[in-house]
Structure 1
């Protein structure tokens, strides 16, 4: 052994370093026991080192690159969890990376807004229909007659609501001054026929009377049955418009366009119009359907004006300015439901379909049924309108199957 002491550590008071030690001066390395110089060769040394067990490699999420230098989607580069890898915990193997949508963001926003608008519109319409249906008065008007092809509406204009006009001519009870038959044939053709209230018909259980007497005798059910027997068409929907509610309905849709062939200033009805066509509000429209004393034709002229009003009202209701205006929807649903009486099962949707069918029929013109004698003298009902049974059967038969031609001369 050498007589020289190992050099001291540069640190004051530090241990001496053995000769041949290569550790950096001041470092924390210490000599391994049994490995110092001068140990006999073959002496027992330290136990051989054992290799560390290889840990099972964590699976790499699908779509990720485990190699270095690739974007692993977790905020850095390097897919391995070693030098250069992310500092956070390893990703969940079952989690898929978020994929960007190929649909542009403005398109997605537009589609979302469109769906929202549709939901609001559908909800608004459904709520309005339920509310309006709950306000309509229904009557058990339909008979048990066998169905006929197509869809048939019986429209009656009545002064039953309010009662202000019931006694203006001495007639007691409710009356129907206006009776119209609207039919949509299976082929799609639509027809509107005016049934004069003075038409001589056979009323079941009563015999020969004017048509409007059926309503006075038995209300809507008897009127429906009488019309079915007379025309041969089964009525699917009965709709009665109360003329005392005319003002509210017209104001709800804004106005209706009415025409008159003379200047009128009638104090009893309040009608004040000059010759020609005018957009009028509710007050003048009500006076228009009630006025009769200024007209030498009396009830006949009033009936024609009431028919004109119903046609104009239906045309206005189905116009875009009303159909596309939610405020008018509410007003019309309220005023209309207060003025309508319909058969059981006939709701506001059926009334809307009726209006659309009427508008289509009015494009061809209101048809007039054939008359044999317009001034037939009866025993109990005064002067009435007499018809021929075969002519009536042929006329309404052509309407039923859709073969009637309004341009053939039977047009009103």
Structure 2
């Protein structure tokens, strides 16, 4: 016991009651020690964040970005290369008195009998005859309309009776007088692609937006680069002039066979009309195979095919690889049934040439210009 200055005795109980010292802990109430507070850590600084333990998705993301960059560089380089390979020799701006542009895009696709670059051995094996310097003619002519109602492919028989109007010479630049009634392929023979476009536009009233032409050599080389094109022939036929010798049924045509198939006319009673139908079938099948994932996604398939085609392809000055690809995909759609293929409507013959059914032609052109569904049919 202790004694205070005033003489009072103070025991421990009194000390605790008056609060002069630390209170005695109560056995029935024990306070747990508080844990030190930890301020929240910003995202990315935790023990499992990048730096100590990288996230699993980070590496995959970097790989994906790298692959995309590489693909973009390759695609860009391919586009530039392909554009540089195109022979942009046709200047449609020199065509005079052109009809107004309509909706959609109209391609004039021409197959010429050019033997440029062919050796004597090739001309013999492909049954083309002639010489490498021989004048060119058009073996096939088609208008491909690409619009919002599916593509329409229209064959123009080379023996069509048309008027060759006045025109501007492609080399001289001088205006030439009209030539009157002629076969359609005579326009190309007289002054090449520009007069052919002028003649088609004059006789149809349809504006041609782009031009694409391929010769014998390029055609055969594309087919060879693709490893052949599979066709299912309804009937077999032979033609000593083109070298055709086919049996009915499914088969793969190589370059020489494909050229013989699209050139054959003497084996058919309908002559040029049957040939144009075969040309449509083959070109649609070729486009379908060329635009397939197996070709587009395989560089060992794609680049040889592109190289073979671009080497002899002649186009207009405004054509580019994108528009060319658009054309091929439209032809693929024709083959898959999403489009329509037909001959130019005919009404008979004039002097041995095929006469167009002009009321039907006018209706057809009006539907194409307004990008409407094509309702016109061809009976031949």
TM range (shorter): 0.7 to 0.9
Looking at structure 1, the residues matched to 104 and 198 of structure 2 have their Cα atoms a distance apart, in angstroms, of 18
Q: 1:324 aligns with which of 294, 297, 318?
A: 297
* Residue of structure 2 in register with 1:113 after alignment: 63
1:315 aligns with 2:284: no
* Residue of structure 1 in register with 2:333 after alignment: 360
How far the C-alpha of 1:411 sits from its partner, in A, is 7.9
How far the C-alpha of 1:339 sits from its partner, in A, is 2.6
Pairing 1:334-345 to 2, within 5 Å after superposition: 334-345=307-318
* Residue of structure 2 in register with 1:138 after alignment: 88
Q: Is the Cα–Cα contact under 8 Å of residues 369 and 395 in structure 1 kept in the other structure? A: no
Change (3 A) 1:305 1:389: closer
Looking at structure 2, the residues matched to 389 and 333 of structure 1 have their Cα atoms a distance apart, in angstroms, of 39
Q: 1:350 aligns with which of 307, 310, 323?
A: 323
* Residue of structure 1 in register with 2:260 after alignment: 287
1:190 aligns with 2:163: no
List gaps (5 residues or longer) in structure 1.
Answer: 1-68, 72-96, 378-382
Tell me the TM-score normalised to structure 1 length.
Answer: 0.67
* Residue of structure 1 in register with 2:20 after alignment: none
Q: Is the Cα–Cα contact under 8 Å of residues 233 and 250 in structure 2 kept in the other structure? A: yes
- Superposed CA deviations along residues 231-262 of structure 1, whole A, max 9, x for unmatched, are 22211110002122222101222321234343
Looking at structure 1, the residues matched to 220 and 371 of structure 2 have their Cα atoms a distance apart, in angstroms, of 35
* Residue of structure 1 in register with 2:358 after alignment: 389
Q: 1:404 aligns with which of 367, 370, 373?
A: 373
Tell me the TM-score normalised to structure 2 length.
Answer: 0.73
Change (3 A) 1:354 1:279: same
Secondary structure of 2:319's match? coil
Q: More helix by proportion, 1 or 2?
A: 2
Q: 2:207 aligns with which of 234, 237, 246?
A: 234
Looking at structure 1, the residues matched to 142 and 271 of structure 2 have their Cα atoms a distance apart, in angstroms, of 19
Q: More strand by proportion, 1 or 2?
A: 2
1:260 aligns with 2:247: no
1:150 aligns with 2:104: yes
List gaps (5 residues or longer) in structure 2.
Answer: 1-35, 39-43, 166-177
Larger-Rg structure: 1
Looking at structure 2, the residues matched to 121 and 297 of structure 1 have their Cα atoms a distance apart, in angstroms, of 49
